[in-house]
Amino acid sequence: MSTRGEAFAGLSVALITPFRDGQVDVEALQRQVEFQIHAGTTCVCPVGTTGESPTLSHPEHERVIAAVVEAAAGKVKVMAGTGSNSTEEALRLTRWAEQAGADAALVVAPYYNKPTQEGMYLHYKALAEAVGIPICVYNIPGRTGKNIEPETIARMAELPNITMVKEATGSMDQASQIIAMTDLTVLSGDDSLTLPLLAIGGRGVVSVVGNLVPGDMIQLLDAFRSGDIAAAQRWHKRLFPLCRDMLGLATNPIPIKTAMRLVGRDRGELRMPMTPLDADQEAKLRGTLSQYGIL
């Protein structure tokens, strides 16, 4: 099955933004990109939810995108987070990402102000007509407060630059409708739902747990792609405890940043209002990482 955003099928990793003493740690960020290149990841996604984009200043947002593009050096695709609840701000960020060399833009639905479905459509239409890079519609109503309905996404699919959907509604019915109604590449926005989404026609995942074990998520995707469903199920079962903790212990990216600190790949610094796990939560996470064999 071929879809319009097929070049981005597979594993995309929602990168964390490393901090050192409250400032963006560019060197650490670029090491994370190099780690993903060596793992064989298809695409890296800076300054999304996992990258703490809501707490980055505009200059920091741009610096992170530029640093990731530089480190990627064409060896891995870059899908930069450029969404906003302001259409003008999203336009500026998306244009900037294109000029910086990003391969695509990950655009979250306008949050807080809860536009109508027509407002959603016109927001994305404005972006799609302003840039030449592909746009991935990031639908996560649990964060934004408003679902982009499948019929609206089907309208967006008529715009040439809208090629992908990051499906984070948690609804297989919604995902099924989008897959049935469009030729968009649908990517899972929830690690634990990757295999179910693949089963109904999804093409990959924008992964949080991929910061830790990208190779294992690639194994799941490759097993499914090759028709070895039993192997894909085994990888799903193995990955599930990690996936559960990354989104279940506390709000993303608190658990993944803690995990990255525990395994020695990040300092684990967060920006307020994000705060560290409490002692009990960290102990549970330690247990999961130890059981998985990466601590």
pLDDT in tens, 9-23: 999 999 999 999 999
Which superfamily does 6-227 belong to? Answer: Aldolase class I (3.20.20.70)
Q: Could you give the C-alpha distances from 164 to 35, 55, 68, 179, 253, in angstroms and in order? A: 25, 26, 21, 11, 23
Instruction: Provide the annotated active-site residues.
Output: 138, 166
Note whether 101 and 78 are within 8 A (CB).
yes
Strand 23-24 and strand 19-20: the pairing is: antiparallel
Note the pLDDT of residue 5.
87
Note the pLDDT of residue 2.
61
Q: Is the preceding peptide bond at 110 cis, omega within 30 degrees of 0? A: no
pLDDT tens sequence across 243-274: 999 999 999 999 999 999 999 999 999 999 99
pLDDT tens sequence across 85-126: 999 999 999 999 999 999 999 999 999 999 999 999 999 999
pLDDT tens sequence across 173-212: 999 999 999 999 999 999 999 999 999 999 999 999 999 9
pLDDT-derived band at 1 (thresholds 50, 70, 90) equals: low
Note whether 268 and 261 are within 8 A (CB).
yes
Q: Categorise residue 228: left if φ over 0, alpha if ψ from -120 to 50, beta otherwise.
A: beta
pLDDT-derived band at 235 (thresholds 50, 70, 90) equals: very high
- Its pTM stands at 0.97
Q: DSSP string spanning 116-148?
A: -HHHHHHHHHHHHHH-SS-EEEEE-HHHHSS--
Distance CA 109, CA 233 (A): 32
Output the average pLDDT for the chain: 97
